[in-house]
């Protein structure tokens, strides 16, 4: 893996992340740009470490591969983004709970999403290390 390839991964991930974050207003389940960007960077890096470059190569980087894999990861993360309706229902339910019912604790899903993020990042890093050291 050369430095120019890492630079290409970073540029591609920022480009795709900016399109999804600013254009489509998709932030993934975490609601922030940085975890979204880290997952895209990790996915592109993993795909480039495992596979051989396919398609045209410019400046020693196979840009088509990076764009394709980055878009796949971005679409997967976009599918996990809660919609506006879900957020509105969530606010209405927890802001005005019924008096006879106790509101459920919203901390459980937040912890699960955080654990999912760190577990995914750990698995991506392990896979990158295994692919590059083999």
Contact indicator for 112, 118 with CB cutoff of 8 Å: no
Contact indicator for 45, 68 with CB cutoff of 8 Å: no
Say whether 132 sits in a helix, a strand or coil: helix
The stretches in the chain having pLDDT less than 70 are: 1, 82-110, 112-113
Tens digits of residue pLDDT in 39-74: 899 889 888 888 887 778 788 777 888 899 899 988
Report the number of distinct structural domains present in the chain.
Answer: 1
Contact indicator for 12, 66 with CB cutoff of 8 Å: yes
Residue 85: per-residue pLDDT: 58
Residue 15: per-residue pLDDT: 94
Residue 16: per-residue pLDDT: 93
Note down the domain range covering 120: 3-133
Contact indicator for 16, 74 with CB cutoff of 8 Å: yes
Residue 55's H or E segment, with its range, is: none
Distances from the Cα of 1 to the Cα of 13, 59, 107, angstroms: 17, 14, 41
The Cα–Cα gap between 86 and 103 comes to: 17
């Amino acid at each position: 893996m050369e430095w120019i390839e890492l630079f290409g991964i970073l540029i591609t991930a920022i480009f795709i992340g900016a399109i999804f974050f600013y254009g489509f207003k998709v932030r993934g389940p975490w609601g922030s740009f940085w975890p979204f960007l880290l997952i895209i960077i990790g996915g592109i890096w993993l795909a480039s470490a495992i596979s051989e470059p396919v398609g045209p190569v410019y400046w020693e980087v196979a840009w088509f591969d990076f764009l394709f894999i980055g878009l796949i990861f971005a679409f997967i993360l976009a599918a996990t983004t809660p919609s506006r309706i879900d957020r509105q229902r969530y606010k209405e339910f927890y802001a005005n709970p019924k008096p006879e019912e106790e509101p459920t604790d919203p901390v459980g899903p937040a912890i699960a999403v955080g654990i999912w993020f760190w577990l995914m990042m750990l698995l991506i890093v392990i896979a990158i290390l295994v692919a590059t050291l083999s």
